[in-house]
Amino acid sequence: MNIFRLTGDLAHLTAIIVLLLKIWKTRSCSGISGKSQILFALVYLTRYLDLFTNFVSVYNTLMKIIFLLSSGATVFLIYSKFKVTYDRNHDTFRMEFLIVPAVILSLLIRHEFTVMEVLWTFSIYLEAVAILPQLFLVSKTGEAETITSHYLFALGSYRALYLLNWIWRYYFESFIDWIVIIAGIVQTVLYCDFFYLYVTRVLHGRKLRLPA
On whether residue 126 sits in a domain, the answer given is yes
**How many structural domains does the chain have?**
1
Q: Residue 99 pLDDT more than 80?
A: yes
For residue 23, being part of any structural domain is answered with: yes
Asked whether residue 198 is domain-assigned, the answer is: yes
| pLDDT, tens digit (0-9, with 9 covering 90-100), for 22-80 | 999 999 999 899 999 999 999 999 999 989 888 889 999 999 999 999 999 999 999 99
Instruction: Please check whether residue 42 lies inside any domain of the structure.
Output: yes
The percent of residues above 70 in pLDDT, for the chain, comes to 91
- Give whole-number Cα distances, 125 to 100, 113, 185, in Å: 11, 16, 11
- Of residues 102 and 53, more confidence is placed in 102
Over residues 143-174, the pLDDT tens digits come to 667 778 888 889 989 988 998 999 999 999 99
Per DSSP, the residues of the chain read --HHHHHHHHHHHHHHHHHHHHHHHHT--TT--HHHHHHHHHHHHHH-TTTTT----HHHHHHHHHHHHHHHHHHHIIIIITGGG--TTT----THHHHHHHHHHHHHS-SS-SHHHHHHHHHHHHHHHTTHHHHHHHHHHS-B-HHHHHHHHHHHHHHHHHHHHHHHHHHHH----HHHHHHHHHHHHHTHHHHHHHHHTGGGT--B----
Has residue 209 been placed in a domain? Answer: no
Assigned domain for 191 exists: yes
Range of the domain at 100: 3-204
Tell whether 104 is covered by a domain. Answer: yes
